[in-house]
Amino acid sequence: MASSGFVLLDKTAGETSFKALFPLKRVFCTKRVGHAGTLDLRASGLIIAATGRATRLLPYIEAKDKCYTFRLHLGYETDTLEWDGEVVRTDERVETRDERGEVECHSEGVILSEAERSRRIQCGAPSVTRADLEAVLPQFIGDIDQVPPNYCALKINGRRASDLMNRGREIELNPRRIHIESLKVIGEGLVTEGCTGKCFATFDLECNCSKGTYIRSLGRDLARALGTCGCVSMIRRHRIGNVTVDRAVRGDALTPEHLLPVDQVLDFPVVRLNDDQVKAIRLGNWVPWRTPVENLSTTPGTEKFVFTADKDGAVIGLGVYDPGRICPKFFLGDD
């Protein structure tokens, strides 16, 4: 059994990203495991995990762009920005009164008829249509500044923000620059059980975004752009880079056969070396390389990474291509 490689996990909602790694330790009989891109406890979807020396490649996985779907609830906001957190803000227009002066509450997730929507608008109730939401989406495309949720794993003076919040501390997180490539509405009007507040509309969205994007914060900001408050549910990660969740396996179904060679997950070019070149790379020396290398990174200012492999195509290390030579970055093969 190979000692190093990647495993594609489909994390279930309700388990931590850390707990999702437990099957790897059992199946591959190693404590050297890690993962790229933590998912929230209640989120589900793709986690790329690594064993052995492949854990050194995780920063290159984490830097990849990602695709999520999520459900936006409009009408209330919670401390965690999730649908089942403690309600901290409510749109006061969510409750309206009928002709007899009695309070009537909006049903969660119900798509109103035009006549009913008009009646509720006259009563002062909020009404956000799909067209309204789609009209504000362009504000969130491209490079934007985003304030992370207070309940998150970011550290303040060495302590997690979520731990400080649980201890009753007041914190303030600075905005961070992220990039959203695309954002679109893919459904509306569906219900999520366990909502702690009243929502007057729900929408399902798909987001392609950069590392560091918080979907919970995106939901909060979308609601505020619409003049109300909101939170999210049903967060699911479908893609990291070119790897999709349909290739992933649940932890309880994991077997040794699910360990993938690193070049099947990271798309760095692979260069095959002869025995003498392999020996030089293992000793930390560069090797001359005159053969053109295809599919190198074209991003200015970034290193041109390649996987170095033996003559049979088995990857032994990560290298950097310089014109005329390949320099080793670190060794990935067996001792």
Burial of 128 (0-12, 13-18, 19+ CB in 10 A): buried
What's the Rg (C-alpha) of the chain? 24
Q: Which of 40, 91, 246, 310 is catalytic?
A: 40
Give the pLDDT of residue 181. 98
Taken in order of first residue, the domains within the chain and their CATH numbers are 5-64+242-261 (3.30.2350.10), 67-236 (3.30.2350.10), 270-331 (2.30.130.10)
114-128, 151-165, 309-323: the lowest-pLDDT one: 114-128
CA distances from 60 to 8, 50, 51, 159 (A): 15, 12, 15, 25
Give the pLDDT of residue 300. 73
Question: What does the angle CA 55 – CA 57 – CA 62 come to, to the nearest 5 degrees?
Answer: 100
| pLDDT band with cut points at 50, 70 and 90 for residue 99 | very low
Residues 168-221 pLDDT 10s:
777 677 899 999 999 999 999 999 999 999 999 999 999 999 999 999 999 999
Residue 187, classed as helix, strand or coil, is strand
Stronger pLDDT, 116 or 204, i.e. the higher one = 204
Closest to 330 in 3D by CA, of 31, 9, 4: 4
Give the pLDDT of residue 152. 64
Closest to 21 in 3D by CA, of 35, 41, 42: 35
Q: What is the mean pLDDT of residues 270-299?
A: 92
| pLDDT band with cut points at 50, 70 and 90 for residue 1 | very low
CA distances from 133 to 167, 225, 308 (A): 36, 9, 48
pLDDT above 90 for 67? yes
Give the pLDDT of residue 188. 95
Residue % of the chain over a pLDDT of 90? 73
Q: What is the mean pLDDT of residues 112-135?
A: 67
pLDDT above 80 for 112? no
Residue 22: which H helix or E strand, with range?
helix 22-28
Query: How far is Cα 313 from Cα 304, in angstroms, rounded to an integer?
Result: 20
CA distances from 82 to 189, 231, 261 (A): 17, 5, 36
Q: Which residues of 188-219 are buried (b: 16+ CB within 10 A; e: fewer)?
A: beeebeebebbbbbbbbbbbbbeebbbbbbbb
Report the chain's mean pLDDT, rounded to a whole number. 87
Stronger pLDDT, 2 or 46, i.e. the higher one = 46
pTM across the whole model: 0.87
Give the pLDDT of residue 195. 96
Query: Length of the chain in residues, anyone?
Result: 335
Give the pLDDT of residue 103. 41
Q: What is the mean pLDDT of residues 7-36?
A: 93
Q: Catalytic residue at 252?
A: no
Give the pLDDT of residue 10. 97
